Amino acid sequence: MKSVTDVPNPNVDTAENPPVILTSELRKVYRTGFLLNQKLVSLSSCSLKVYQGETFGLLGPNGAGKTTLLKLLLGIIRPTSGRGLLLGKPLGDRATKAKIGYLPENPYLYDYLTGWEFLQFAAGLFKIPPRVQRQRIPELLELVGLSLGDARKKQMRRYSKGMLQRVGMAQALINEPELVFLDEPMSGLDPVGRYQMREIILRLKAAGKTIFFNSHILSEVEQICDRVGILSRGELICAGSIPELLNPKNGYFVRGQGGDWEVLQKWIPNIKFTVDGCWEGELEGDNYDFLASLRLMNANVFNMNLIRPSLEDFFIQKIQGNHQR
């Protein structure tokens, strides 16, 4: 079944603004069983676009195919069918890999190295000169909130989960990547650790980095991401900005006082009066025309709030709806 997007992407492809990530009908099928005669569809016809400077959050329950998609984009595994481009090059292009950073969900770090030594090792893989390393490593340690003393003296086997995530983030940025992939960057962190990781991502976003990450922590995604996509059973069931997805009609709930009852009912069919003499309800029609009408009636509006569910409610609704199909 083909992937769909409930809301069209507001970005427009141009020569000056091509997608940084582009996939078309990307599909991954694994063979299982003793004779490898059974098929397991991990990702089904996934098509998406992510643009320069965006922070894109990929959501989905366990087993939805999030990590599979991430590994396909990184060139760790090959697609069964479909195609994709990363920074304008086919997936798996060797030169492109030097321009991306990656933080796995459970990074394997060399326990008996210090954080500083590990970052030196990662920098060596990218052939970064020692002179540049001496400047870049302290800058990254400051960015991720690791003290210079801990990084130089403490072996990583003595690091907390939060410290390991932060040194893993520093590793993902050692090559000054154009595109950063983060697989569950807040997994297993306490509230303080999640706050620190969120601040790091926001600083990267402010610096203009393109960020693609998976997460189960929807409250964090709602604060960080420009756009999100939801995967369910290997299918991308929707994608778009959070305002587009949560409030596609751009509706408002209004509360005010005064005015003509019959006129108000035309704008607010479900209008109700409260014990304090005010009225409230869901506005139908153009909000600017409504406000102009209120002035003619000598009515006052106290509150006018966008109607939208939480990202968590929207996520559950979409997942349950997809499972019932």
Range of the domain at 125: 19-240
pLDDT in tens, 269-325: 988 988 888 989 888 888 888 888 888 888 889 988 877 777 888 888 888 877 766
Residues 263 and 217 in one domain: no
Alpha carbons 31 and 164: distance in angstroms, whole number: 34
Which residue type occupies 114?
T
Looking at the domain assignment, is residue 313 inside a domain? no
pTM: 0.80
pLDDT in tens, 199-241: 999 999 999 999 999 988 888 888 899 999 999 988 999 999 8
Could you tell me the two tokens for 197? 């990781």
Looking at the domain assignment, is residue 322 inside a domain? no
Residues 225 and 282 in one domain: no
Alpha carbons 73 and 211: distance in angstroms, whole number: 13
Which domain CATH number covers 125?
3.40.50.300
Helix (H/G/I), strand (E/B), else coil: 227: strand
User: Does position 106 have pLDDT exceeding 50, yes or no?
Assistant: yes
Alpha carbons 255 and 134: distance in angstroms, whole number: 59
Q: How many residues are listed for the chain in this entry?
A: 325
Looking at the domain assignment, is residue 4 inside a domain? no
Please check whether residue 56 is in contact with residue 241, taking contact to mean a CB–CB distance below 8 angstroms: no
